[in-house]
Amino acid sequence: MLYRKELLLHACLFFCVSLSAQQYPFVHYTPIDGLVNSRVRSAYQDSKGRMYFITYGGLSVFDGARFKNYTTQNGLLVDMVNDVVEIGDDSLLVAVNTRGLNILVHGEMRPLQVGKELYPVINRLLKSNDGSIYATTDEGLYKLGLTKFEKLPINIPGQTIPSSILGPIIEYRDFLIFTTYDSRKNYGPFLYNKKTGTIADHLADMAVYCLETGPGGSIWLSTTTTTMMLDTLALAKGKLELIKPRLVPTGLVSLQGGIIHFNNQQELLLSSSNNQIIRYRKDGTVQHIVLPELSTHFVQNFFIDREDVLWICHDGKGVYKLPGTKFQPVLYPFNDNSSGIRTISGITADAWWVVMNNGELIRQTFSGNKSFRATPSFDAYFLHTGKKYFYASDTRSLFMARSPTANETVVQFRKIMVLPDTAIFGGIVVGDKNGNIILFETRNLCVIQDDKLLFTYPLKPFDLVEGMHLDKHNRLWVINRYSGLMIFSLHPESPETYLKKELHFTKEFEDGSPRSMVVDGNEVLWVGSRYKGLTGFTVDTGGLKKTWHFQTQDGLTDNFITALTCDKDNNIIIGTQTGLDRLIKTQEGYRLENITKSSNTFSYINYVWMDAANNAFAWTKTSDILQVEPATTVSNRIAPELLLAEIKINGKKGVGLRSPFRLDHHQRNITFSVAAPSFIDEKQIKYSYLLSGDGNKDWSDTTSTADISLLNLSPGKYTLHVKAFFPSTSYTPKETEFVFTILPPWWQTWWFRIGVGLLGIGILITGIRIYYRRKLEKQKTILEKQQAVEKERTRIATDMHDDLGAGLSKIRFLSETVQRNIHEEAHQPHLQNIADSSVELVDKFNEIIWAMNEKNNSLEDLLYYMRNYTAKYCEENNLAYTIKIPDQVPPLIINGEMRRHIFLTIKEGLHNVVKHAGAKKVHLEVQLDPSITISIRDDGKGFDATIMSNAGNGLRNMEHRMKNVNGQLLINNDAGTLLTIIVPFPVT
């Protein structure tokens, strides 16, 4: 009931449809939405709740979150599908229009071959109550076994019936009932006894269009002209006998032929035309469900799922879904008045009034409507029916009239009040127990007693009243847009203080700007705001306590609440700027139901109200009137499961993965596609998840996205917890979990870590051993050096004793001799010997010093020292000589011991040449590849090595010296003597 003229003028659309017409809000699915093909033949629902749409162009599986389609590209033998039937956990047989059969297992489609026989074309599949699979085909009746596809005999004694094309099939106890599917000739229906394997009965030449099992195991069939039942008593005896349908409480009736289905309340739904489905309710009433835009097109079939959702399969326009008939637009003719609705008011339990734009007043009741004319004519913008009088107003004038009698069609109004300035009347009015009415204009609350203004209570300028309520204590509750809530006590005994303010609350509304109000049967105040949704308060003398709060994140269609009302069950009907919701009282609290949003319908709601039958009505900004049936709880409704639809690993489908499963270390990106097949309002289903194993303990925000992507996971064991929430239904949240492990790379495995640990320990031990070994080697080297030094010192001492001692002793002896005989000439040779011994002693001393000096430790120094010695020695002994040394000498280090051994060996060799060979010429040659090779050749007489070896120590000393440096000594007597020493290069 609007109070501002500019808003009221929007209500100006027309009503021009018959009283019985009801246009339900169907939801439409086409290939744009994911359907595989627009020509849909039939629908099927499996035990997990998923819908299967059988089309001429493939198979669509709809789980509420997504369509998954199968064609020849996904494993179907051909694209045209005839039927599907569930045979096991997530396993279905798929009959296609060719000689073959498909099976769909865990989302994977593949061909199925049983035995070696070629399949016929299968038209219908039936899973028997004993688990057997039967098929009606183009070549008769078949039974599917584990090892063969067996054809069953359907011969009738005394009659010749060809192998007919068979179609619809159902089961009754031990019997199968099926019919032909051949447009050329009808041979059925047939009654087949499974136990005897024979035809028990048949009705010849009867074209059966549909077979269906009804309440209590009843069997229904329809032809193109009529719908009948089969007598179950006769069926039990193996006889087919037709009887008239029986409807409760109507009894036996005659029905047209058509498609037959039964809903969860076991009510018959019959489609006998292309433009409507007739529902025969248990209370005896008939509901006509008008189909959307289908009157000139062919409806293939319709299906009712386990949630009582109606699916209409259309040949060319896809699938239409009707989630329920609880909500539908109500189109009233209002006596063919096409001027449009100005306002709806005067609401009582039995009636409500419609004010048309042309001034006509129409009273709507259960039995129909009645039209009245107001006189004098004025633009009425609200209407209130008091105990004795009618009250109405235009923007600034208030009128009163006596209530019309049953036969009157004119309401006589008279003006009782005119506002003196720019103030206008609002559209909210209440009547108190004293017969007075309380309304407001933009400056005051007004109390009207009959035709007199009894009392006014001033309001803040520009503040607007958005709701009024009289509670059971006869207190007036007034909600203002800016001033909050005021609660008044009523004092009829004192008209001058008729309204006395007792309580006032402002800050509790948190600047939400209230726009509507209702108080339920438990005295809970519900306030709808402009910005902050719906809030429930409890009121007492202590204050205003916020108890409930609902916003869009809690499921509301919109946070702008435009209208509120409460039904008999304390459910709150919520009008918003975009649609209609219902807050349903439950044992735990409340749950939200999106009435219009679930049907993809959106509209600004002006006003909401209830009738005596607990039906809710809403008037929209586009002048539509919406009707909502009372909230009901269906006890036998199967709650949906939370399913895992698909797993993708690194963007590729994980075939056959079931919880728990294991992945390699590089498979770190996982997408879980989940679904909760509920089709009442699948878009409102919300999902949340928690991944345990990564240290996270918080659930994700709820979202309608049913794909959960986990990226860059580290190796480890994880558990993915998933919850599904159903805001628009009474289903409790569902939860499931998936366990999986990402294996670490081999270098992060326990055995590798143990191996690395053992290896590390081994390396550590080896390192310690090497360290101490090297330390010992260093100590050994130092000791060896010390020993070498001691040895060298010993050698030097020995040499000095042997060489220098003997020489010094000789010099001493000669000196003493000369001293005694200094005047005798015979002693001149002794003086010469002293000089010679002194020279020799100096030379030996120089040799010792040269060998000990580290500055002479290169190979080059050795060779040049040896050359100088050879030249000097040969010259002193009158020997011709030649010396050949390489120009390039490698920079090798020769220690003192090796230098001494080599030099003394060469010296001994030259000494032998002078002493024994009688040679005149000596040639010394040095070669440095691949070892140090020094050769001395003379032109003497040679010598006998055996004699030389026995004669003295020279040769043995030479051999011993070469052995000490790992060298060789070679002597060759051929035209003189060739002495060769070979010493390997020292290791640097």
For 909-918, write each residue's pLDDT tens digit.
888 888 888 8
- Give the model's pLDDT for residue 309: 92
The pLDDT score that the predictor gives to residue 571 is: 94
User: Who has greater pLDDT, 803 or 445?
Assistant: 445
Q: What is the pLDDT of residue 4?
A: 32
Mean residue pLDDT across the chain: 85
User: Are 479 and 466 in contact, with CB atoms under 8 Å apart?
Assistant: yes
- Residue 695: how many other CB atoms lie within 10 Å: 6
Output 542 or 32, whichever has higher pLDDT.
32
The C-alpha torsion from 375 through 377 and 380 to 385, rounded to 10°, is 0
- Which is more confident, 947 or 300? 300
DSSP 781: H
- Calculate mean pLDDT across residues 441-449: 93
User: In this predicted structure, what is the pLDDT of residue 671?
Assistant: 94
Give the highest mean pLDDT range of 331-335, 599-603, 621-625, 721-725: 721-725
pLDDT at 854: 63
| pLDDT score of 955 | 82
Task: Note the pLDDT of residue 680.
Answer: 86
Q: Is the pLDDT of residue 18 over 50?
A: no
Express as a percent the part of the chain with pLDDT over 90. 44
| Residue 52 β-bridge partners | 44, 61
- The pLDDT value given to residue 574: 97
Res 451 pLDDT > 70: yes
C-alpha to C-alpha distance for 16 and 818, rounded to whole angstroms: 169
- Other Cβ atoms closer than 10 A to 963: 12
pLDDT digits over 407-430, tens only? 889 999 999 999 988 889 988 999
**What is the pLDDT confidence band of residue 830, given thresholds at 50, 70 and 90?**
low
> What is the rounded distance in angstroms from the CA atom of residue 735 to the CA atom of residue 721?
7
pLDDT surpasses 80 at 218: yes
Structure confidence at residue 779 (pLDDT): 85
Which residue would you say has higher pLDDT here, 18 or 214?
A: 214
Name which residue leads in pLDDT, 329 or 150: 150
Q: What is the mean predicted confidence (pLDDT) over 261-266? A: 90
Identify the weakest region by mean pLDDT among 354-363, 628-637, 725-734, 909-918: 628-637
pLDDT for the residue numbered 9:
29
Q: What is the pLDDT of residue 3?
A: 32
pLDDT in tens, 746-758: 887 888 889 888 9
**Higher pLDDT pick, 363 / 51:** 51
Distance separating alpha carbons of residues 209 and 191, to the nearest angstrom: 16
Estimate to the nearest angstrom the gap between the alpha carbon of 533 and the chain centroid. 31
Half-sphere exposure of 436 (CA within 13 A, CB side): 23
Higher pLDDT among residues 570 and 942, named by residue: 570
The average pLDDT across 610-637 equals: 83
Confidence of residue 796 (pLDDT cuts 50, 70, 90): low
Q: Which of 64-68, 117-121, 207-211 has the highest mean pLDDT?
A: 64-68
Give the model's pLDDT for residue 883.
92
Could you tell me which residues come within 8 angstroms of residue 27 by beta carbon, excluding any fewer than 6 positions away? 320, 321, 322, 323, 599, 600
The string of pLDDT tens digits covering residues 856-892 is 778 888 888 889 889 988 988 889 999 999 988 888 8
Interval 433-440 mean pLDDT: 92
CB atoms within 10 A of CB 55: 26
The pLDDT tens digits for 141-174 are 999 987 788 899 887 665 666 667 899 999 999 9
Radius of gyration of the chain (CA): 58
Higher pLDDT, 262 or 332: 262
578-583 long-range contacts (CB < 8 A, ≥24 apart) are: 578/602, 578/603, 578/604, 579/603, 579/605, 580/327, 580/605, 580/608, 580/618, 580/626, 580/628, 581/555, 581/556, 581/557, 582/616, 582/628, 582/631, 583/534, 583/550
Phi-psi region of 621 (alpha: psi -120 to 50; beta: other; left: phi over 0): alpha
**Top-confidence residue, 510 or 194:** 194
User: What whole-number distance in Å separates Cα of residue 240 and Cα of residue 217?
Assistant: 15
Residue-wise pLDDT for 97-139, tens only, equals 999 999 999 999 999 988 777 789 999 999 999 889 999 999 8
Cβ proximity of 496 and 455 under 8 Å: yes
SS3 248: coil
Res 593: pLDDT: 87
Total-model pTM: 0.70
